[in-house]
Amino acid sequence: MSVLFEFARTTASLLFRQAYTERPDMAKEVKEKPKRAKRLSLGVGGALVELPADERQGWANPLEFVLSCIGYAVGIGNVWRFPYLVYRNGGGAFLIPFVLMLLTMGLPIFFLELIVGQYVGLGPTEAYARMAPAFQGLGYCTIVVIALVTIYYMVIISWTLFYTFASFSSKLAWAYCDNEFNSPNCYSSLQDAECRAERPDLVYYNRSCMGIEAFCRSFGLASNLSDPTHCYKVGGNGPGIELRHLYNRTLSSEEFYNDYVLGIRDAKWEDWGGMRWELLGCISLAWLVCYLCLIKGIQSVGKVVYFTALFPYFVLIAFMIRGATLEGAVDGILWYISPRWSYLMDARVWADAASQVFYSLGIGCGSLVTLASYSSFSNNCHRDAVFVTLTNLLTSVFAGFVTFSVMGFLMNQMNLPIEEVVRSETGLAFIVYPEAVVQMPLSNLWAVLFFLMLFILGLGSQFAGVQAISCAIMDVRPDLRPHESRVILVVCALGWLLSLPMLCNGGIYLFTLMDWNTASWAVLLIGFAELVLPAWFYGCGRLLHNLAEMQMNFGPLLRAYWRLSWTLLAPATCLGVFIYQMYTYRTASFGDYKFPVWADVIGILIGLSTLAPMPIFFCYHLWRGPRDWSLLKPSSSWGPAKKASTPERSSSTASVDKQQHEGGVSNPAFLPDSQA
């Protein structure tokens, strides 16, 4: 009887599957109680196949993948870091090295990461280990980088959330000098305008309105009532001295950022002070929002990115329209698009362009490999790589127009040369923008929109980072995939816990140390390794053959471009910029505060920790053996996530997926060395 029962069950199962193959629409009519051990997946041709519960999920459609890449690559750095580098490196002339670095280094690495992730359908830790066992540590290097970046990047997001909440106050605190944390040297452009409106000879000094005569006398100078913007030497000899040059004037927005948001005051490395409880609440909320958006893994983030990737563009367009109508905006834009060609002779400009390419695209961090691993096997990742890179470039350029229109307005309002408007890249977002916003009509509305945009931009980049870490864990432990939400919860909780020291009064010093040494010089070597492994050891021939398997066939010109980029241009660029950065390396600092030597040592160790997995795993494989060239060749488990589409695809999906899950992937794409 048991034999007959088993035969009947098997026959019914086959008939059931065949019925769904012929009529896929019946899948919507029949509902079964989901089992914990199994799940159904719609295979090619409409066949429902039974997959293990720990099988990887995928994007619902290619658009979700593209938007996720845009949300990851287009972040806060496009809004503040790129305009700041343009500002520091010759205006429009900076676009030339930036575009060249993008084409010779950024796009090739970006495309390579998508290829590796999509082809093998795994995160960086497993993908690189299967491509060449000796390079197993490369995947872990990228995970260490993205883990460190995710921890301190969320601190920036907590600042944006802090400012968002502060923007709802009827009186924007950063616009005034009457707060308890303000110093006598605090300067408020709004309060200065109020003084002058009351009486033309009044100026704002020492947190009160003071007559120009008394002001100049306090510095041993004389005044001229017909010129209330200058003081003169006694006797009237010599040119007038501008008031802002007589004392170390500090903007109210700068004091708000340093002394209230960060709470630095007298904090040092030796004494970090207490916890900033407001920031603790903000970062807790930020991590909670991040977890809720990722609670169902790739399924939930695929829906969230429709908002997080697109909303910032609406805000940028609104700011562009508003900025273009401000007085002085044209001067700022003209400065932005006017190139200063002499800057191109400075090697630092080219190094800044290379670092911005890595920072902006997010390459060398493993997140792109992770995002691509959830794509369908035949997705056109070449088109996606070009589109996302181009979108990133155009967004940066457009954000530059927005930024410099606002800077032109601020230059006009404060009567300052544009060279003195910005002091640092973080200052652009948290000092210059807030200073400009308060002088606009409906200042609260623009402040909320701006900081909410920064929050969403930062959160979009965080999704890929958290996903990369959780994916690496589940690739090593596939049995945890049914508990993906718990894995993500643990990742978010640990990220929250490890970010707590950076919320103290002196936490900005640790933040600066990590930012200085994590995603800077070390990531260049990781990018170099990501190029050398596929292009030199695996072979461009194999790589292009794998692309053909994924239904991406290139003509002779494109094949030659990618070969040249992967084997020569991109590796040489990475190595050249790394050598230059080492030659000109200087230790971390924050403003005028120089870090102690032991802190600099910690910073260098943080950078080295991102590279440590590579030699560790290489030595491990040498010790474990075999000690031959097989360590630099694909392992037996290397192969496509799915076989190329064939008429028999629907009947073979389950067996292929099962082989992949068990580590014995069938590898029809593998070519012998003679054919590579």
Indicate the residue type of 256.
F
Q: Work out the number of other CB atoms within 10 angstroms of the CB of residue 332.
A: 23
Collapse the DSSP code of 59 into the 3-class scheme (helix H, G, I; strand E, B; otherwise coil) and give the result. coil
443 is in an annotated binding site: no
Secondary structure (H, E, C), 365-431: CCHHHHHHHCCCCCCCHHHHHHHHHHHHHHHHHHHHHHHHHHHHHHHHHHCCCHHHCCCCHHHHHHH
73 is in an annotated binding site: yes
650 is in an annotated binding site: no
457 is in an annotated binding site: yes
The answer to whether the CB of 370 falls within 8 A of the CB of 362 is: no
357 is in an annotated binding site: no
The token duo for 537 is 């050891």
Which of these, 176, 181, 178, lies nearest to 193 by C-alpha position? 176
253 is in an annotated binding site: no
Q: 485: number of CA atoms within 13 Å, CB side?
A: 7
The answer to whether the CB of 259 falls within 8 A of the CB of 252 is: no
**DSSP-assigned letter for residue 596:** P
490 is in an annotated binding site: no
Residue spans of beta strands (DSSP E) within 214-305 = 222-223, 230-232, 241-242, 250-251
Q: Specify the pairing of strand 250-251 against strand 186-187.
A: parallel
78 is in an annotated binding site: yes
Collapse the DSSP code of 611 into the 3-class scheme (helix H, G, I; strand E, B; otherwise coil) and give the result. coil
Which helix (H) or strand (E) segment holds residue 64: the answer is: helix 62-73
The CA angle 229-238-188, to the nearest 5 degrees, is 20
Alpha-carbon distance of 96 to 397, in angstroms, equals 12
Q: Is 277 exposed, middle or buried (0-12, 13-18, 19+ CB in 10 A)?
A: exposed
Binding-site positions read: 71, 73-74, 78, 360, 392, 457, 461
Annotated binding-site residues for Na(+) read 71, 73-74, 78, 360, 392, 457, 461
